[in-house]
Chains A and B, each alone.
Chain A
């Protein structure tokens, strides 16, 4: 992307420089490579400078600082702080890769990672299947189609924390609506958020509910771009409904669904609000995913453990980058062009 723009701009800039030089007097000394690059591309660099600076400040600095902190033993009690008359310098030290060794050899990180993977895979798989089903249903001409579409997009339109709190009320064991309904049918109340296994089920259910609109809308767009001639041809050849779905719809949706799955995997892996607002990682630590645990290290325990928290943060980043690379490579071997 950036390369393309800079080249095209460079051409224009080059013209400019050429014209400028013709006006100049005498022969300038032959410029060095860097200087020439600068003099040719200065316009491009000036244009991208604001973006580079903003990204550097917003993403680069925290990232570098996070990586640095993960190599130290920084916590709340030894970082620099200056409050009124109290001025305390930083006293944390560089400890190398100790934090990473601790995280990767201890049980906590791997245990949390295990549940995070279960959570991500089940959320994405269920959301994708349901979203696909709903998109197919809503792609037909049925009465009140736009009303259904509106209703199904609703979870997306409500701010996340509002819907998660609403779910928390529904899940309440004594006074929640779900258990009242079950009680009305003569079934014992379910400890939705109080039992570790049920709590896992509950958080996945809420995330599926929240995630369906995105998948549905994206796939609906994909469905509408599949030419109807393909379906007609398949029908002429005597393909059954299932065969049409399997051999026309699915391949036609492929470009959309690969992107959707990648995005929703990354989002679900780091889905902080659902877990944090619904269970705070509880009961105990049973629904704690990597990001909520990292948050707990740096904001909930005391003294706040900035080093361990950033170690987990860096590990999350590495895991997601690995996933994206592998995913892309798998797709490429299957003939996709991105």
Chain B
């Protein structure tokens, strides 16, 4: 019994000390001297292995120089697995990192599940006004801020300038031109025109937007993927593959796309800034000037590419919240963003980073900057991250001829209505 009292007293004292520390930290804010942060910060990075990850690892470890007592553990997690891995670890309460590179659509979902620590009033949120508005949008959920935007992106057509010159064609402005360009390339060089990723429906979005469609309309709570435009968009991609203008795969899409493009087996791919560093390692692009970038081809209703990107979020169960907040701030600083813009051609999320020389010098950053500004923004509701699983299935079904565009659109809409209770 006596022992019990002592233990309780000890715990209480510790708790008091802890809260005292906590409040100290909060009031300290930005003025906290660097020596005080300590412990380990584990960061799950999802950038492409073999190209982007090296730079991010280098930047992350630079945090240790500023805060010598902090040990940064850099862990590279494949992008495709990260969402599930984080959910597993977060729900189990063990093995989750302190900081995760969360894709924009995952952020509201993780926040809704209670896995993320709110960042308002912490060291992670400094000069919020410097961030691009469209980048910040995905970090807000239910009136709180749960992440800090790290990079922003959109999509465009990557093309092989040499193949284009051999075939005597110009980058296509719309779907019809895409088909004629592909045919000319096939006739003149024997190569396929476009690689269209068939296993990830994110690569389908620009066709959907091009026909005037969208996945859902959050303002009127309506599922829109199964309207006429949606069905038409499914028809467009099916026609591209069936006519031989594009080739696709139902598995290993990323790997096959990058290999085909890097080896010059295809002349075009639809992709985003995240693929640039990897593309430039290919033999066709040992001369960087051979890589051309143009806007995604317009559909019958116009031209539209999705706005994407990655945020840095802090796990709510982190044992080292203070250092994690500081780490997030450091990783999204102007200097870090300028460095990734210069070395990896990734788009900064801070206005001031665009003024840095590295960003100014990067043609790709300069190309994508206006594209991002006009890119189509998805609604940042918790379900946004859930919209792709049903779409992936139907998208692949259409491309492999297992269903018709109309049926695919309808099936996707049906699963969305199951997901979004009460939506029209």
Contacts and interface: CB of A to CB of B under 8 A. Distances in A.
A218 to B, nearest CB: 33
B252 interface: yes
Nearest to A285: B393
Interface string B391-417: 001101101111100000000000000
A280 B117 contact: no
B405 to A, nearest CB: 14
Given A174-B259, A174-B260, A284 B396 contact: yes
Given A83-B90, A284-B402, A193 B250 contact: yes
A136 interface: no
Contacts of B198: 194, 283
A194 B316 contact: no
B168 interface: no
Of the four ranges (under 10, 10 to 19, 20 to 34, 35 or more), the interface on chain B belongs to: 35 or more
A79 B91 CA distance: 10
A175 B262 CA distance: 13
Contacts of A14: none
A168 B394 CA distance: 23
Nearest to B400: A283
A81 B113 contact: yes
A285 B415 CA distance: 14
A85 B315 CA distance: 10
A172 B265 CA distance: 15
Contacts of A199: 250
Contacts of A168: 251-252
B199 A300 contact: no
Nearest to A299: B84
A77 interface: yes
Interface stretch (A4-12, A225-233, A261-269, A301-309): A301-309
A84 interface: yes
Contacts of B403: 284
B109 interface: yes
Contacts of B250: 193-194, 199, 279, 282-284
Contact of A302 (B109, B114, B315, B397): B109
Given A76-B87, A84-B316, A172-B256, A301 B402 contact: no
Interface in B276-295: none
Interface string A282-304: 11111000000000000111111
A133 interface: no
B241 to A, nearest CB: 10
B317 A83 contact: yes
B112 A77 contact: yes
Contacts of B199: 282
Given A84-B117, A196-B402, A284-B393, A76 B91 contact: yes
B84 A84 contact: no
A304 B84 CA distance: 10
B389 interface: yes
Interface residues of A, number: 34
Nearest to A302: B386
A77 B400 contact: no
B385 interface: yes
Given A282-B251, A285-B393, A174 B113 contact: no
Contacts of B386: 301-303
A88 B389 CA distance: 26
B139 interface: no
A284 B397 contact: yes
Interface in B62-94: 83-84, 87-88, 90-91, 93
Contacts of B112: 77
B251 A300 contact: no
Contact of B316 (A86, A193, A278, A282): A86
A173 interface: yes
A88 B396 contact: no
B389 A280 contact: no
A82 interface: yes
Contacts of B394: 284
Nearest to B395: A284
Contacts of A279: 250-251
A193 B249 CA distance: 8
A16 interface: no
B402 A286 contact: yes
Given A174-B256, A196-B402, A302-B385, A282 B396 contact: yes
Contacts of A175: 256, 259
Contacts of A194: 198, 248-251, 400
Contacts of B259: 174-175
A118 B199 CA distance: 25
Nearest to B316: A84
B249 A77 contact: no
5 contacts: A83-B315, A195-B400, A196-B402, A302-B385, A302-B389
Interface of A: 76-77, 79, 81-86, 88, 168, 172-175, 193-196, 199, 278-280, 282-286, 299-304
Given A84-B316, A284-B393, 10 more contacts: A79-B91, A81-B114, A83-B93, A84-B117, A172-B256, A173-B249, A174-B259, A174-B265, A175-B256, A194-B250
Name the 6 nearest CB pairs between A and B, nearest first: A283-B250, A284-B397, A86-B114, A84-B316, A84-B317, A83-B317
Interface of B: 83-84, 87-88, 90-91, 93, 109, 112-115, 117, 198-199, 248-252, 256, 259-260, 265, 315-318, 321, 385-386, 389-390, 393-394, 396-397, 399-403
